[in-house]
């Protein structure tokens, strides 16, 4: 697609969704085409340009996985090493002695899941260095969670801790030396300098929100900012370096409705027509971004936005760009299919962690879902996914995981986090 065509896409969907600013980049072979639309901050009116830095959020996880795989290629570690072999704070912890580095990258380590460990961004961070060591120690003090697969911020902070212990460098320095400099990602770094402002929608228009900057959770995505050009350089590294193809190897995981069809090792897999696309997404306060790899076509697409409505822009933009490569993106199913889930009573129960609880009840033709966030109705989409808010671009549905012999799900996925059923 040409720059003008990309710009038209951003304008159309940016205006439709109330997104103040966005940038899209398309890599085809060694040619990059970039288009930018709107403003970086509604208060200043400064335009979004190719040099605008957006938060990369959970794309940081894919970057951490890249460094770990390259360290494995250099013989500095093995993906089959026990986690505890490289995280001293976890030595003697049964789950970390049994689970491997590969399991961490695959989100199937069975580590303790707690709201305080996953989302404790507002808690006081320890002074000085060693923030990842402190978080690892906090993880070590908790009991593991009985879920086969779950997304986890704390787990990716442990990946960052592995990078520190293997390299002997602080996480930020190691990422710079092992990825950003080799890949010529000169504009990728922690901090808010020259960064766009995030925005949330309001009746009066987009309202700026402050950036999320928490060093303790940096490897999970609370620190780095980058440009669309740098994301394409990151993609180019993956397209050019055969050893990194292991990150696209499918691992046992559920398909999470509205998010991905499978999880690999730091990348998600998206089924598209007769082919597959890989990549991951970023969700930050007031910002959304996506990156997609098309290895068979030696191509990639990156979209970065400064709005909480960003995924509503990213989806149609990605659909149009991928269509230009002959790749068909299946439509997101959000229309209820009554009866598709069968007997709804099998979903009823309590799901949760020690500090997070969700109750699910059968309510005739739909589910009633109660949590600290309030009440929601879940209408069946298929045998295990239920739409709860079709207008929410981030979390339109909930998904249930594998079932026991009685057909009762063992896990409820809220967004991407797995909450085990309490059968006690």
Helix (H) or strand (E) holding 322: helix 310-324
Q: Which residues pair with 302 in a beta bridge?
A: 25, 291
pLDDT at position 332 is 95
pLDDT band at 212 (very low <50, low <70, confident <90, very high): confident
Quick check: is 337 in a domain?
Answer: no
pLDDT at position 274 is 79
Phi, psi torsion values for 316, nearest 5 degrees? -70, -30
Do residues 165 and 86 touch, judged by C-beta distance below 8 A?
yes
Instruction: Say whether both 319 and 401 belong to one domain.
Output: no
How long, in residues, is the chain?
Answer: 424
Q: Is the pLDDT of residue 20 over 50?
A: yes
Instruction: Say whether both 255 and 392 belong to one domain.
Output: no
pLDDT at position 313 is 98
Instruction: Say whether both 254 and 384 belong to one domain.
Output: no
pLDDT at position 125 is 57
Last residue of a domain, one of 273, 300, 332: 332
Do residues 383 and 245 touch, judged by C-beta distance below 8 A?
no
Last residue of a domain, one of 300, 332, 364: 332
Quick check: is 246 in a domain?
Answer: yes
Mind listing the pLDDT tens digit for each residue in 253-268? 999 999 999 999 999 9
**Tell me, what CATH number does 281's domain have?**
3.40.710.10
pLDDT at position 124 is 42
Instruction: Say whether both 364 and 324 belong to one domain.
Output: no
CA 1 from chain centre, in angstroms, equals 27
Instruction: Say whether both 3 and 150 belong to one domain.
Output: yes
Q: In total, how many domains does the chain have?
A: 2
Mean pLDDT of the chain: 95
Helix (H) or strand (E) holding 97: helix 94-98
Do residues 57 and 283 touch, judged by C-beta distance below 8 A?
yes
Q: Which residues pair with 256 in a beta bridge?
A: 260
Instruction: Say whether both 206 and 169 belong to one domain.
Output: yes
How many CB atoms are closer than 10 A to CB 320? 18
Do residues 329 and 323 touch, judged by C-beta distance below 8 A?
yes
Range of the domain at 125: 1-332
Do residues 217 and 153 touch, judged by C-beta distance below 8 A?
yes
Q: Which residue, among 80, 56, 253, 223, has the nearest Cα to 150 in the 3D structure?
A: 253
Minimum mean pLDDT range among 12-16, 210-214, 318-322: 210-214
Q: What is the mean pLDDT of residues 173-183?
A: 98
pLDDT at position 211 is 87
Report how far residue 247's alpha carbon sits from residue 61's, in angstroms, rounded to the nearest whole number: 12
Cα Rg, the chain, nearest whole Å = 21
> How are strands ordered across the β-sheet holding 54-55?
54-55, 224-226, 189-190
Share of the chain above pLDDT 70, in %: 97
Mind listing the pLDDT tens digit for each residue in 75-132? 999 999 999 999 999 999 999 999 999 999 999 999 999 999 999 887 645 555 689 9
Q: What is the mean pLDDT of residues 136-160?
A: 97
Last residue of a domain, one of 304, 332, 360: 332
Token pair 């602080």 is found at 170
Instruction: Say whether both 154 and 62 belong to one domain.
Output: yes
How many CB atoms are closer than 10 A to CB 193? 8
Instruction: Say whether both 328 and 350 belong to one domain.
Output: no
Which residues, at least 6 apart from 94, have a Cβ–Cβ distance to it below 8 Å?
Answer: 144
Minimum mean pLDDT range among 4-18, 193-207, 359-373: 193-207
Mind listing the pLDDT tens digit for each residue in 348-360? 999 999 999 999 9
Quick check: is 338 in a domain?
Answer: no
pLDDT at position 275 is 84
């Amino acid at each position: 697609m040409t720059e003008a065509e990309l710009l038209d896409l951003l304008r159309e969907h940016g205006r439709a969704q109330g997104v103040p600013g966005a940038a899209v980049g398309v890599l085809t072979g060694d040619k990059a085409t970039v288009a930018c639309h709107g403003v970086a901050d509604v208060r200043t009116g400064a335009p979004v340009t190719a040099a605008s830095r957006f938060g990369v959020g959970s794309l940081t996880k894919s970057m951490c996985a890249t460094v770990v795989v390259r360290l494995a290629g250099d013989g500095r570690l093995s993906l089959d090493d026990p986690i505890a072999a490289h995280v001293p704070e976890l030595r003697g912890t049964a789950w970390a002695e049994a689970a491997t580095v590969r399991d961490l990258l695959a989100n199937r380590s069975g580590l303790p899941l707690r709201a305080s460990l996953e989302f404790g961004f507002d808690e006081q961070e320890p002074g000085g260095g060693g923030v990842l060591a402190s978080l690892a120690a906090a993880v070590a003090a908790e009991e593991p969670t009985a879920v086969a697969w779950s997304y986890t911020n704390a787990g990716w902070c442990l990946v960052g801790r592995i990078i520190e212990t293997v390299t002997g460098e602080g996480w930020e320095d190691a990422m710079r030396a092992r990825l950003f400099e080799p890949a010529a990602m000169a504009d990728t770094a922690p901090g808010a300098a020259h960064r766009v402002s995030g925005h949330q929608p309001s009746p009066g228009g987009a309202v700026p929100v402050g950036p999320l900057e928490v060093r303790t959770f940096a490897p999970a995505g609370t620190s780095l900012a980058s440009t669309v050009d740098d994301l394409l350089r990151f993609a180019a590294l993956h397209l050019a370096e055969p050893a990194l193809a292991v990150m696209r190897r499918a691992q046992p995981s559920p398909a999470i409705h509205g998010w991905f069809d499978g999880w690999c090792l730091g990348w998600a897999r998206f089924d598209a027509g007769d082919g597959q696309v890989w990549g991951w997404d970023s969700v930050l306060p007031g910002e959304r971004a996506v990156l997609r790899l098309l290895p068979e076509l030696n191509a990639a697409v990156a979209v970065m936005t400064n709005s909480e409505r960003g995924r509503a822009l990213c989806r149609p933009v990605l659909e149009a760009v991928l269509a230009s490569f002959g790749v068909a993106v299946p439509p997101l199913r959000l229309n209820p299919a009554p009866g598709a889930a069968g007997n709804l009573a099998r979903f009823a129960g309590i799901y949760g962690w020690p500090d997070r609880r969700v109750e699910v009840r059968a309510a005739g033709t739909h589910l009633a879902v109660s949590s600290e966030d309030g009440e929601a109705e879940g209408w069946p989409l298929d045998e295990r996914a239920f739409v709860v808010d079709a207008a929410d671009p981030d979390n339109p549905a909930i998904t249930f995981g594998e079932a026991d012999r009685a057909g009762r799900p063992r896990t409820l996925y809220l967004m991407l986090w797995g909450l085990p059923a309490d059968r006690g």
